[in-house]
Amino acid sequence: MVIVMKPGARQETILALVAKLESEHGVKVSITNGVGCSILGLVGDTASIDIDKVSIHKDVERVMRVQEPYKKANRKFHPEDSVVDVRGVPVGGGNFTVIAGPCSIESEAQIVEVAKDVKDAGAALLRGGAFKPRTSPYSFQGMGEPGLDLLLRAGAASGAPVVTELMSPKYCELFEEKVDLVQIGARNMQNFDLLKEVGKMSKPILLKRGLANTYEEWIMSAEYIMAAGNENVILCERGVRTFETYTRNTLDLSAIPAIRRMSHLPIVVDPSHAAGMYWMVEPLAMAAAAVGADGLMVEVHNNPACAKCDGQQSLTPEKFRRLMGKLEPMVELVGKKLVK
Ligand code: PEP
Ligand code: MN
C-alpha cells in the first residue's frame, strides 16, 4: 500500500500516522520525503487496513493498494492450479469436467431419466435445483427437501455425484450430509453470512459469479469461504448484466484467462444461464472450452417445452450428446482431458 501525503503535511503528523499504522496493523512503513510531499510505503499484511479510514485523514492526499486484498485465493501465493475433488471427480488442473442436468428437479421419473442420459453422454456431475431462487414469488420455487432426495436417487441410479443450490444457512447441515458439490447462486454471491457458513462445511463449493460483480469482488467472495476454512472452491462464470437485452446475460469469456492469472481456483462456465436460449449453448460451450475453462455447467431437460423452469435455455438429451461429441476434440486441442 502506498500513501501520498498532502504537500505541507507536518513531519510530526506523518510520524504519528506511521506509528499508528505500525502498531495497529503490524506493517513496516518507509517514508520517502520528496519535494513538497512525502510518500509512505507500507509492507506486510495490509489486508486489515481500511483504505477509507486512511483516506479521510486530513493530511492524506491519496491511498493506493499495490497488492490484491485476497490471499488464500491468490495465485501469487499458490502458483499451481488447484484441483477440487467432488467425490472422486476432479475439477481443475488439466481436467475438463461437465456438470449437466435440469434447472429444477420436477419428479423422480424426470430427474432419473435426465441423469442417466447426461451421464451416458459424458457428463461427470449431475445438477438439479431443489431450492430455486426465482424472481417472482409466484413462480415454482423448487420441490425443496423431497426434491433433494429425488436428486440423490438419480445420482445413485446414474453413478454421478450431485450438485445443487443452497440458498439458506438453515439447510447447511442437510447439504453437508447429502450433497456432493454445494452451489452458491449468482444472487447469493455476496451473501456474506451464507459464505461464512459454507466456509465451515467439508463439501466443495461452486461459487457462481454475481449478476454484476467484478472479478475482484467474486474472488473476495471465494476468499470469505476459504478464510472460514473451506479451500475447495470452484468458480462459475454465468454471464453478467449488460445493456444488451437480446441475450439473458452477456457471457464474459475474458473471465477465464483473467481469473486464471489472478487465482489458482478452477473456473467453469455456465452457457445456459448466460445465453438464456438453447441454440446458443453449443457455440458458447465450445468457446468456453477454447478459452481454457475447466468445465461447463449445462441445463438439460427431457422435455424443455414443459419444464417448470428455464426450458427455453435447456438442451434436450440428444442435443447435449451432440455437444459432448463436438466438445471432446476441442478439449483435447487445448491440452485438457474430458473427465467422464
Ligand atoms: C442455477 O444454476 O440454477 C441458477 C439459478 O443459476 P444462477 O445463480 O447463475 O442464476
Ligand atoms: Mn436455471
Selection from 244, 248, 241, 308 nearest residue 273 by Cα: 248
What does the pLDDT look like over 133-143, one tens digit per residue? 999 999 999 99
User: What does the block give as the cell for 22?
Assistant: 505500525
- Do 294 and 124 contact (CB within 8 A), yes or no? no
- Residue scoring higher pLDDT (67 or 239): 239
Q: From the CB of 273, is ligand 1 less than 6 Å away?
A: yes
Residue 26: the pLDDT is 95
Q: From the CB of 271, is ligand 1 less than 6 Å away?
A: no
d(CA 171, CA 161): 19
**For ligand 1, what atom is nearest to the CA of residue 183?**
2
Q: From the CB of 129, is ligand 1 less than 6 Å away?
A: yes
Q: How far is the CA of 155 from the centre of ligand 1 (A)?
A: 20
Ligand with an atom nearest the CA of residue 135: 1
Residue 35: the pLDDT is 85
What does the pLDDT look like over 36-81, one tens digit per residue? 889 999 999 898 899 999 999 999 999 999 989 999 999 999 999 9
Residue 36: the pLDDT is 84
Q: C-alpha distances in angstroms, 326 versus 277, 290, 321?
A: 19, 12, 9
Q: From the CB of 133, is ligand 1 less than 6 Å away?
A: yes
Q: How far is the CA of 123 from the centre of ligand 1 (A)?
A: 18
Q: From the CB of 119, is ligand 1 less than 6 Å away?
A: no
Cα dihedral 131, 136, 140, 146, rounded to 10, equals: 20
Q: How far is the CA of 156 from the centre of ligand 1 (A)?
A: 23
Q: From the CB of 103, is ligand 1 less than 6 Å away?
A: yes
Selection from 273, 264, 254 nearest residue 312 by Cα: 273
Write down the mean pLDDT value for the chain: 97
- pTM for the model stands at 0.94
Quick check: 334 pLDDT over 90? Answer: yes
Selection from 101, 82, 94 nearest residue 266 by Cα: 82
Ligand with an atom nearest the CA of residue 208: 1
Cβ contacts of residue 53 below 8 Å, gap of 6+?
none
Q: How far is the CA of 270 from the centre of ligand 2 (A)?
A: 10
Give the pairing of strands 38-43 and 2-5.
Answer: antiparallel
Q: From the CB of 317, is ligand 1 less than 6 Å away?
A: no
Residue whose C-alpha cell reads 463439501 in the numeric block: 203
Q: C-alpha distances in angstroms, 19 versus 14, 24, 192?
A: 9, 8, 33
